[in-house]
A and B are shown apart, each in its own frame.
Chain A
Amino acid sequence: DAEITQSPRHKITETGRQVTLACHQTWNHNNMFWYRQDLGHGLRLIHYSYGVHDTNKGEVSDGYSVSRSNTEDLPLTLESAASSQTSVYFCASSRTGNEQFFGPGTRLTVL
């Protein structure tokens, strides 16, 4: 069955380290998204991509980067992790104009 997966599911890192969160989907969706979820906030968009080699900034993109080298993957990189980036991160994918399907999430703790 087609699906969307994230790895790792849990990650603990130190301030200043570079961290990469993986997202992989097998639906062949053009669109992929990264969100973070924090208490008291709805999901907030970090970066998104509408196709290979296309990337765009969301509302909370500072300190994060993405690259899209193929249809299936959109890794999220934290260049220099900060404690404010402790959060739960969700990847999602969709066909243009259709609903987004979410991955299971990655819980990141920055000490």
Chain B
Amino acid sequence: KNQVEQSPQSLIILEGKNCTLQCNYTVSPFSNLRWYKQDTGRGPVSLTIMTFSENTKSNGRYTATLDADTKQSSLHITASQLSDSASYICVVSAGDFGNEKLTFGTGTRLTIIP
């Protein structure tokens, strides 16, 4: 069964600090991995997408890494801002082009305090 596990479940950090969120997956056949940001009361919004051959991808202050051998990904947030308070969801896609199935993690709830 395809599974995506995220840690920690929740995290509280001071504004301006860095943090790293973790994602482990057992999904086959792997197609790509996405990180989504979900603000309270809103739908998820994509931050990054990584394919098998990509190790690192950045989107502003967000940097995602992927280790396809160990089936682990991380999302690093630099110089956190209050607007970073949200849930961050790791999503892994499996299957062939045009027939992908997504498996969602339960998310990490990040709270930035001033």
Contacts and interface: CB of A to CB of B under 8 A. Distances in A.
Contacts of A43: 44, 89, 102, 104
B42 A41 contact: no
Contact of B45 (A40, A96, A102, A105): A102
Select the residue from A43, A102, A104 with max chain B CB neighbours within 10 A.
A43
A92 B102 CA distance: 12
Interface string B69-110: 000000000000000000001000000011011111111000
A41 B9 CA distance: 12
Nearest to A4: B43
A42 B49 CA distance: 18
A96 B106 contact: no
A42 B43 contact: no
Given A97-B100, A105-B41, A40 B49 contact: no
Contacts of A103: 43
Interface of A: 40-45, 90, 92, 96-97, 99-105
15 contacts: A42-B104, A43-B89, A43-B104, A90-B44, A96-B98, A97-B97, A99-B34, A99-B49, A100-B102, A103-B43, A104-B41, A104-B43, A105-B41, A105-B42, A105-B43
| Closest A-B pairs by Cβ, 3 of them | A42-B104, A102-B43, A43-B104
